[in-house]
Chain A
């Protein structure tokens, strides 16, 4: 499997906890990256479009109470394929980090 782009991996990670709408995904990514990656609407929905086509995510038909939520919002959730892709990417990154540690590029995590 080819490495995922950072945007795709971040979106997959955001959806691991459950379905979210675009702004929810954007906020979680911004928080996780310390606001170094703030996805604009074009990037977010362009990436989601490609992910929908690739079967990594799907639109959720369930919506919260319409009175509490704007009808224009769309909710997305992970598919099984999306979860597998996220796991594969996380393992790939973990292997890379292990390799970096083996070369003393990174400190080993301290045990509590």
Chain B
């Protein structure tokens, strides 16, 4: 298996699991057919450009189909139920958002709070609803100074 095929197989993991179960193998086969036809570097580069554009275009649609109950948006963070990303990506996004909001408010979340954040919300499915807990991480955030 070529490097391109390996990379593409990794990228396919970004699709929802149910969709992948059905279409991962034929999609990988289609990509490998296209790869065989790309006999020059230029064609290979064009194939990758097309494939990446195709991924970016289709990923949100497949995730929206897979989880129609998504509630996303700045004002809806507290009502968050499910994101279309994998768990590590979800963690990263929420971690960053949390940090940004905390620093904007002049708050410095203690380290224990973050470890708690990871331990208590491994999949973010039961992340508590409500501004108080979101902001305060259980009401135990401290002021920076």
Q: What residues make up the interface of A, taking CB atoms closer than 8 Å to B?
A: 21-23, 26, 38-46, 49, 70, 72-74
CB contacts (< 8 Å) of A74 on chain B: these are 26
Given the interface pairs A23-B33, A40-B50, A40-B54, the reply to whether A45 lies near B28 with Cβ below 8 Å is no
**CB <8 Å contact, A72 and B58:** no
Contact of B51 among A22, A40, A46, A73 (CB under 8 A): A40
Contact of A22 among B30, B58, B62 (CB under 8 A): B30
**Considering residues A40, A45, A70, A73, which has the most beta carbons from chain B within 10 angstroms of its beta carbon?**
A40
**CB <8 Å contact, A23 and B62:** no
Chain B interfacial residues counted at CB < 8 A: 23
**CB <8 Å contact, A42 and B59:** yes
**From residue B32, how far is it (CB to closest CB) to chain A in Å?**
9
**CB <8 Å contact, B29 and A23:** yes
Q: How many A-B residue pairs have CB under 8 A?
A: 56
**CB <8 Å contact, A22 and B26:** yes
**From residue B60, how far is it (CB to closest CB) to chain A in Å?**
11
Q: Is B53 at the interface (CB under 8 A from chain A)?
A: yes
**CB <8 Å contact, B23 and A49:** yes
Contact of B31 among A41, A43, A49 (CB under 8 A): A41
Given the interface pairs A40-B50, A41-B54, the reply to whether A46 lies near B29 with Cβ below 8 Å is no
Q: Is B118 at the interface (CB under 8 A from chain A)?
A: no
CB contacts (< 8 Å) of A38 on chain B: these are 50
**CB <8 Å contact, B57 and A73:** no
CB contacts (< 8 Å) of A72 on chain B: these are 25-26, 28-29
